[in-house]
Structure 1
Amino acid sequence: MSEKSIAKEIYKGTFWSILDNFVKQVFTFIVFIVLARLLAPEIIGLLAFAMLFVQVFRNVIFDSIATAIVRKSVPDKTDYNTGFVLCILISVPAFIILFLSSDLFETWTNSMGLSTVIKGTSFILLTAGLSRMHEAWLQHQMNFKSLAIRSSVATFFGGVLGIILAYKNFGIYSLVAQQVGTALLELILIWIVTPWKPKFEFSYQAFREIKSYGKHVALTGLTNFANQNSDSFFVTYYLGAAANGIYSTGKRIVSTLNTVISASLLRVSLPAFARIKDNTEELKNTFLQTTGITATLTAPLFAGLSILSKDITLLLLGDKWLESAYVMQIVTLTGFLFSIGYYNQSVMLVKNKPQWQTRLTILYALTNIAAFILFTKYGVIYTALAFSLRALLLYPLSVWCSLVLLKCSFKEYFRQLFPSLAATALMVILIYFLSLYISTLSLTIRLVILIFTGILSYLFFIYLFIPKSYKNKLKKVFARKKHD
């Protein structure tokens, strides 16, 4: 398949994958905003803590099985069936253990109500085990349209359920019902839209392949999970559920954007890169091109979110969540790094170097945990600073690994990032000084002015910095449209 065809599939798949995640995250975020205005921070903190247990199984165990299959050039039915059986064998005991141990976690953290929340969300493990291989099948077929439709429908009705229960004063159960209801409907729909139907067929050869490759992915997933979520654990342990509510809310918008954009890119780039993994030059060019385009989209987005974090928090959540704005302002840096860093992970996976990514994430996890132990006790701001600075200082190691595999230089890589970084820096400076000048205006009007100014100024600045070849292509496109 040609480089142009691969790029076309990536862009098409990215569109549907981003749409999938966008709709899901938008509805989830709407429900979250409603609940955040109705509930106290400690209640939000309880849910954030309880979901950690569900996420660790989904992101570590199920995804490692799926990734071991999706990364293959042509996986067969035996691979998918074996993966399906494995997911079932893991999800059932995982659900039972989590359900029965919920009281222990409540006692250990001294968080009243945590047991009930864990019991409710633990049912998601069963739906995840029954649906993960269907998702993997559609993912490898680049059929992200079906995934998007399924997710959109399920998230809509799950979100409606959560909002109705919130207005009927069901409190924390509103968000639990939204999570579980969405998961159940997603399970039903994925079985309907997926042509592949699983059988209880188990191949020891397929199992050995999944185990051999998946153990690296699982360890990577576990350490990635620790990198992205151990802060919430330590905040709850040292500072309590209320502080975790403040901290997790500050990360919420960044995490939502990161899920919409970055997770979508990983889902698309892994199977797309896998198809050209034997052609290093083609893979290198595709990697650089997609990294540059992603940075062009995400750098201004996360930078704008950082500088406008206080106004956004006041508008969406109200005064009681103002402390979350400072957390948001700091952790947005990691959102941008994650958005372009997922491509590094995909390169290492398709080049059969999952152990490289594993070693990196172990390093990240150890340094994160050490930083949180040292600084979390001083408050949520120090936790956010530790989280972001570690990501910034160690990110070049991930880039170096992918560049070695692609026989690419840092100069070529930075050349792809420079236009977006330079344009974003100028945009931020302009927005900052403009915000001082219009500080007396109403919150809504000020936000509208700053957002539109940011968009227009970034488009102007990025046009100044992009290579001449890109400018010529843009001129041809506009000339063709004008002629038509």
Structure 2
Amino acid sequence: WNLANLFLTRGASTIFMLFLARMLAPDAFGLVAMATVVFELANAFVNSGLGAALIRSKSVSDADLNTVFFTNLGLSLAAYTTIFISAPFIATFYSQLELAALVQTMGLVVFINASKIVQIAVFSRDMDFKTQMKANTLATVVSGVLAVIVAYQGWGVWSLVVQMLSQAVVSALVLWMASNWRPSWQFSMESFSRLFAFGRNLLAEGLLSVAYQNSYILVIGRFFSAELTGLYFFAKKINNLVSKQLTGAVQKTTFPALATLQDDNATLKYKYRQIMQLMMFLIAPIMMLLAALAPTLISLAFDEKWQGAVPYLQLLCIVGMIFPLHALNMNLLNVKGRSDLVFKVGLVKKMVNLTMLFLAIRYGVLEIVISQVFATFLALFPNTYFSNKLIGYSLDEQVKDVIKPICAAVLGGASACYLAGEFQAHQAVTLILSALVGSGVYIVASFLIKAEGALILWGQVSKRLGY
């Protein structure tokens, strides 16, 4: 159901983004990107890791659920108050006066998201991802339709704000209607202390992660134009449609199940290796094909004004291909209950990455994105250190688990890129044929070199078919 959620919501999001990109200029996306930095920081603060603590707990009481619910509402009030007051200063920082009203309006999403954290935790504990899929899909479709309608009416950048607000509202409404849990006037300091003992490190890491992930937007928005910010933000959104969303869906599904194995290191390692191998088998070819066919794709789907996003997207595809290694290692630390290590590892790698970012500012946006690629590889060292300490899953083993699909994906991407450059036909035909050839080369190469993810997937398919 998580995969269905992924394909339905991301597919719909992609379609609506196509329409909006045709009607809006890059600077509109740039303004929303600048405002999103503030919103995501507030959202991380409101979540505070308590939702993850509920999911991970072996048992939860009604007092636990009520405590988390009212804590999140209180934090959301504090967060929005801060956002509202600081909005004019944020607009001045970016030299974009229109940002003040955008930030104050978008900040309302913090309240809405805070209201559904407990509902999501309850559904996740029950392994009920079908309901979450329905909520997210309906919210994506409704918000996308509304955004396209108001964009057509000339609302400009505000159409993106409408999309964000309506998506949060519809999702929250569906989750509340589907859930039997309702809050009661109850707050337990014992529950708060126990859950926050785990969640506080996730809060710190969450704030650091959001600050780091949006530092590129912040820097580009501050030192460069809104148009360049929009092009980078646009490339990042396309990249995240595949890598982060697919990885997030797998993490969300496996976290409750793997938490039951937290005391069995041998089984935990075996399961994580399988997940890593399967994730890379799926993500590596998609990212390499996207990088190879980015010029044709952007030219076909978008206006000429978006061509500047192509080199950013190609480089970010490398970041996206490596992302599962980072995410799954962090997920492992959470499964083991070591949120303190999540914070420490996150702090180290972000210090290194931010150093590289600030060194690249003087050279330009392209160089900033290149520094992001190098930082992604450097971050593997601290990310895998404690995985080795806790369950013996070392960096060497992880590289061996992912190198085969990466090599096959590079070969498939190169084949698609060559065909796209040589084939003389309509761009849509070229794109489809190149993608098919690249995919075919990847699959054949994966089986020839016996990539573990391919063998695992084939074994499951054969079992289902009765072979």
| Residue 17 (structure 1) aligned with residue 2 (structure 2) | yes
What whole-Å deviation, never above 9, does each CA across 1:318-337 have from its counterpart, x for those lacking one? Answer: 21111111000001111122
Does 2:430 align with 1:446?
yes
Greater CA deviation, 425-434 or 236-245?
425-434
> Displacement, 1:342?
1.7
The aligned residue for residue 369 of structure 1 is 354
Tell me if the contact between 2:46 and 2:114 (Cα under 8 Å) persists in the aligned partners. no
Answer yes or no: is the 8 Å Cα contact 1:250–1:325 preserved in 2.
Answer: yes
In structure 2, what is the Cα distance between the partners aligned to 1:238 and 1:339? 31
Structure 1 residue 83 displacement after superposition: 0.7
Counterpart of 2:351, as a letter, is L
Partner of 1:10: none
Q: What corresponds to 2:442 in structure 1?
A: 458
Count of residue pairs the alignment pairs up = 467
Give runs of aligned pairs for residues 149-160 of structure 1, distance below 5 A: 149-160=134-145
Answer whether contact 2:294 2:313 (CA < 8 A) is retained: yes
Aligned with residue 416 of structure 1, among 395, 401, 404: 401
Deviations 1:188-247 (Å, cap 9, x if unpaired)?
111111222222311111111222211111111122212321100000011132221111
TM-score of the aligned structures, taking structure 1 as reference length: 0.91
Q: Which amino acid aligns with 2:434?
A: L
SS at match of 2:134: helix
Question: Does the 8 Å CA contact 1:41/1:242 hold for their aligned counterparts?
Answer: yes
Q: Sort the Cα spacing of 1:143 and 1:477 in 2 relative to 1 into closer, same or farther, 3 A.
A: closer
Alpha carbons of structure 1 residues 141 and 33: separation in structure 2 relative to 1, 3 Å = same
Pair 410,109 (structure 1): closer, same or farther in 2 beyond 3 Å: closer
C-alpha distance 472-112 of structure 1, shift in aligned 2 (>3 A): closer
- How many angstroms does 1:477 deviate by? 5.6
Aligned: 1:285 with 2:270 = yes
Indicate yes or no: 2:66 matched with 1:81.
Answer: yes
Match of 2:413 in 1: 428
Tell me the residue number matched to 1:387.
372
Deviations 1:451-477 (A, max 9, x none): 111111111111112269975994896
- Paired residue type of 2:258: F
Change in Cα spacing, 1:293 to 1:474, as seen in structure 2 (3 Å) is: closer
CA distance in 1, matches of 2:334, 2:383: 12
Alignment of 1:45-444 (within 5 A): 45-62=30-47, 64-438=49-423, 440-444=424-428
Cα distance in 2, alignment partners of residues 347 and 74 from structure 1: 20
Cα displacement (A) at 1:364: 2.3
CA spacing shift, 1:30–1:80, aligned 2, 3 Å: same
**Residues 49 and 233 in structure 1, CA contact (< 8 A), matched pair in contact too:** yes
Q: Is contact 2:348-2:382 (8 Å) kept?
A: no
Tell me the TM-score normalised to structure 2 length: 0.94
RMSD: 2.2
Distance 1:181 1:342 in 2: 29
Aligned AA (2:433): I
Change in CA separation of 1:473 and 1:442 when aligned onto 2, cut-off 3 Å: closer
- In 1, distance between residues paired with 2:110 and 2:346? 24
Query: Residues 384 and 394 of structure 2 are in contact (CA less than 8 Å); yes or no, is this contact kept in structure 1?
Result: no
Change in 2 beyond 3 A, CA 1:397/1:24 = same
Shift of 1:409: 4.2
Percent of counterpart pairs with the same letter? 22
1:9 — aligned with what? none
Name the counterpart of 1:4: none
Which residue identity does 1:300 align to in structure 2? Answer: P
Secondary structure of 1:271's aligned partner = helix
Kept in 2, the 8 Å contact 1:309–1:325? The answer is yes
Distance change (3 Å), C-alpha of 1:270 and 1:60: farther
Equivalent-residue separation in structure 2 for 1:38 and 1:177 (angstroms) = 15
Distance 2:442 2:122 in 1: 39
C-alpha distance 390-471 of structure 1, shift in aligned 2 (>3 A): closer
- Provide the C-alpha distance between the structure 1 equivalents of 2:39 and 2:290, rounded to a whole number of angstroms: 28
Distance 2:209 2:118 in 1: 21
Counterpart CA distance in 1 for 2:181 and 2:376 is 40
